[in-house]
Each structure stands twice: as structure tokens, then as C-alpha cells.
Amino acid sequence: MLRTRASYSMSMRILFLGDVMGRAGRQAISLALPQLRREWRLDFVTVNGENATGGMGLSPEHAHLLFEAGADCVTLGDHAFDQRSMRSYASSEPRIIRPLNIAKSGAPGTGARVFDLPDGRRVLVAQVLGQIFMKQPYSDPFSAIEPVLRAHPRGGRVQAALVDIHCEATSEKAALGHWCDGRASLVVGTHTHVPTADAQILSGGTAYLSDAGMCGDYDSVIGMQKDEPMRRFVTGMAQARFEPAKGPPTLAGLYVETDDATGRATRVEMVRLGGRLAQAGPAPVTLDWGAGDAGA
């Protein structure tokens, strides 16, 4: 557990869950998140859902499932619009956040939004795509996030500010984390589907993790059934489509507490529940996985 001292009257409990991968990931969210909201008394939950539908994109139906489970906000990524129906859905559903810099102009939906909590507190959520090793030549994420953070000072216009940095390279994620330090409450990386071990509070009071990992089956190759990825690595030839692994899921992400008066992070904990990985979280919890949804 990591803590820093802070003087505050109220704190916010935030949970960020990493890339939801196929049916196994959806099961982990739908079965565990309602319980976690109660037991950890969560104020705000963000879920990265860009791989929730068959491992490639997010459908409106599966977005609705994530919201029903207790997500206040769903972020996307470079697969934001792999499901064509997401284009119109993102324009009509304000709880969907796509990357600020996914297109030069005309992208559906929004890349940043302020969410109003029932008690009057406000949370900014924004997302940017990295440039290094990414397939598309996305625009500069530093320039994209700068005006958003400047317009929404934490502890002022918003009580907390969360940034999802969807990047391939950990160096780019770390640089973005330090760029946002002192202005964001939480900067967390997504995209690589492997949780890193560098959860920390930066010198300016920003909680940081290079990658939250995925919510899905870790007996896999980053969430996909193993045979086809291994075949392609060994032979250089594709024989079948990638298919999401469907074994017991792990819920992976980050828990953060922030000071309402300043927006600084005061506590950060990695989250790993169920499945194959070593368990971690802010408090012990026994999950009742039960039965989940069907589909890809």
C-alpha cells in the first residue's frame, strides 16, 4: 500500500479497470463490479472497454452491459470504432470516451468529459493515444491533453481528473504521466493487456500506473486463445482468426483515493481479483463469480 499525507475533509474512491477482453472480461465486470462498488464504497468507476466485443472494439449492447454492472464511464482506444455501430452510439452516449487524438477531425463522440456525481462532486475523464509503435500515425498526445487539463484544474473546477493513456510503449506512457503530474489526479496506461508493477504517486500528487492490464483470461496470449498467435510467431503464417480466450477471468486495474480539496492522490493500490494472477486490492474481497453472459 502506498499513501501520502494530505489535509482534506473528503476523499474520493476511484476504480479504474483495464481493457475488457471478450466474454471472459465481460463476465469479470458484470459479476464482480456490483460487489466491489458496495464493499469498497466506490465513488467513481471507469472501465476501458475497447476489446469487450470479440476482442475487437465495443458494441452498444456490451457497452450497456458494462454500464449496468456499475461503470460510470467507458473509455475506448485504437479499436474504438471497429464495431461500426459504435460510431453512432458514441455520438449519443455521453458516458463513452474515445481518444482525443484518434482523428484529425470528425471523430464521433468526445475525448474528454466532466462527470457530475450525485453528491455534487465532479470528475474529469480524458483519453489520448500514443504514437510510438502504433499502427496509425496519431497526432501528438501531449498537445491533445494539455488544453483539457488547463481548462479543468483539479481541486478547482473538478475534484478529480483521470487520464487514460492508450499506448504501446511504456516510455511514452511514463513521459505522459510526468507531463500530467500535478494536474491530473490519476494517469493510467492501457492497451498492452499486461499489468505493470509501477503503481505510485508522483511528486506532484498524481497516481500513476504504466498499464492496468486486462480484464480477461490470462491463460492466453494477451487475451487471445494461444494456438493461433503461437503459430504465427513460429511460422509467420496465419491460419485462423484470433479468438478471445474463454477461461476463468481476472479483474485487473487500479484503485485510487484522492483529496477533494486539492485533487491530489493520497492512496494507490493495484487490483487483481480472480483468475490466475496473484491477488491484490485495497481490501480483502471474496467474489461470487456465478454465471456470466454468453457471446463472443
Could you give the residue numbers annotated as active site?
79
Cα gap 283→229, rounded to integer Å: 36
Rounded to 5°, the CA angle 256-260-266 comes to 35
Cα distances (Å, whole numbers) of residue 265 to 78, 99, 172: 28, 23, 22
Number of neighbours of residue 155 by Cβ within 10 angstroms: 18
Which letter, b or e, does each residue of 109-142 get, where b requires 16 or more Cβ atoms within 10 Å of its Cβ?
Answer: bbbbbebeeeeebebbbbbbbbbeebeeebbebe
Contacts of 118 (CB under 8 A, 6+ apart): none
